[in-house]
Structure 1
Amino acid sequence: MPLPVSRDDIRAAHARIRPYIRRTPVLSVPDGAFGHDGPVSLKLEFLQHAGTFKPRGAFNALLTAEIPPAGVAAASGGNHGVAVAYAARKLGVPARIFVPEISSPAKVEAIRRFGAEVVIGGQRYADALVACDVYVAATGALSIHAYDALPTIQGQGTVALEWEEDGPGLDTVLVAVGGGGLVAGIASYWAGRGIKVVGVEPEGSRALHASLEAGRAVDVTVESIAADSLGARNTGPLVYAIAREAVDHVALVTDAAIRDAQRTLWRDYRIAAEPGGAAALGALLGGAYRARSGERVGVLLCGANVELSKLAGAL
């Protein structure tokens, strides 16, 4: 049975959004780095506009929809909201972003800096999503879902297209999972191509892992240092359906391993990664994913919207 998102869908999305995004670089790391005896390829997606991969999906959603007079709305732990605000400003569209109380002040400030209205309320992402849905129903604004929507997944999948062209020859890629739009897009692009796509979730925020175990999308509780970016309570049915067919498995990483990855990235590469952006590397460093000898591993570094004071504490 074909996946809901195809390689052609992702190619078309890339052609559509290319004028608005950065083609982020790939860094090839020599054998022996990160405790692995094979080569490691780092996709530096934290260099994307707005600090994460998310403008890819946001632009694709905005460029494939008719924008109503009320503009667009989005619920976000922070990064999706920053991306939607950025894309809306570039396209001249009004935006209102709903974020929970746990959102990083740096991300909230970035949303406002890009000209969107911010509504803060509720403890978690799920609470912001409810508030956003109420607003959309009342105003007719276009809702831009953070992960469980075809345009979002198609846009996020363009990361894999670039990676394939700029850093070919991978055996496995490690991809952090919040709601799962990124891993679903990447897995859709590489489905049937012999490249193993492994999702990485914090132990305390395992919506996709739990859903794959249950055989359906299920709710989970969320408690992790990466909760503001990897804190979805439920992946949604679309992400689950793609992951069930195209994601090899989900590795669970500890908060301590995520912190270690942040320290390693700063110490060795001067990369200031947020916890969610360092999670995939944490799986390799901490052994949640054990690569075989000589395996060509790709690690997606997906976000750098970090509170510098908190990073300093982690270091």
Structure 2
Amino acid sequence: MDSVCLDQNYSTTQLLSTERPLIDANSNDNFRTQLFLCEGEGRKGEGGLRTKGYFKHGYKKQNGNKWLVCDVNGQSGSPIELTLERDRDELPLITVITVVFNGEKFLEETIKSVISQTYPNVEYIIIDGGSTDGTLEIIRKYEHAIDYWISEKDKGIYDAMNKGINLAAGSWINLMNGGDVLNGVDIFEHITTNDPQIEIYFSDTIFINQNKKVLSKSSVESKSFIHQSMIYRRDLHKQYGLYLNFPKVTISDYLFFSNVLKRENSKKIDHPISIYRIDGISSNPSHYYQKLAVNLMCGHSTVFKVVVQLLYKIALQVFYYPPYKFLKNIFVNHE
């Protein structure tokens, strides 16, 4: 097997191969990796490096000098010649998945933050929900640096995420929604597979709302985390399944990680992984109420604490936000 570099300037175009990755066809798995998706309802397009015959693999060194190709489960196989400017013993394939719908305003920022990473073995998948704005034009503009993308109708954000996970050939996954960005160009340099106990890397998150940035703290104990600031092993979906996809349920990712994330299987990175734009379903009050319900049912919180948090949120909705919006409109209109 030979390694192909199409462009040194992008994290997604340096370590390519014309040989398809080995897919584990074990029917007992909760999901099965696919390289391409069968055409779904209302498909508007499909493209990327895979459709041109280029694929990705993970790599490990054997005895400190010879590189071996790894399958989607991280198991090493045939030898390969790699010439790298850095001294590393491993290059696990990291898959970044972006789900988007009518996201022309901020999608380009998301794409640039992924393909500009210094880590040379990144796989990038974009799942578009059949956008009607300029989203497809932006995707096509960068498809030379995108491994695979599709545009078609889906059954909600978690259905789109699950499509991306099924397409992931990487042993590590990061979900970076359209509009959110990686916070810096060296994020994936922190990932190592030397410690088999570590299954999740996570960090604090920078929230941005109308150009105002706030740091949101994350911890295992408080069950406070954002999936954009998590990089986790693909195999976790073999153990726990894909994200639940039900009408009006907006916390399937939170439900998944609240059960999976533990002190002994995770490591917190000091540098915030992502910058998260506060809008969409996560800003909806029902999203917050669903989180409280999960914390209570899973034993992550007490009844008293949940009641206090619920009353606080209701008080904000009734007594704070309406006057704030009213006064803001007065001053804005006055100016």
Greater Rg by CA: 2
**TM-score, length-normalised on structure 2?**
0.29
Higher-helix-fraction structure? 1
**TM-score, length-normalised on structure 1?**
0.30
Higher-strand-fraction structure? 2
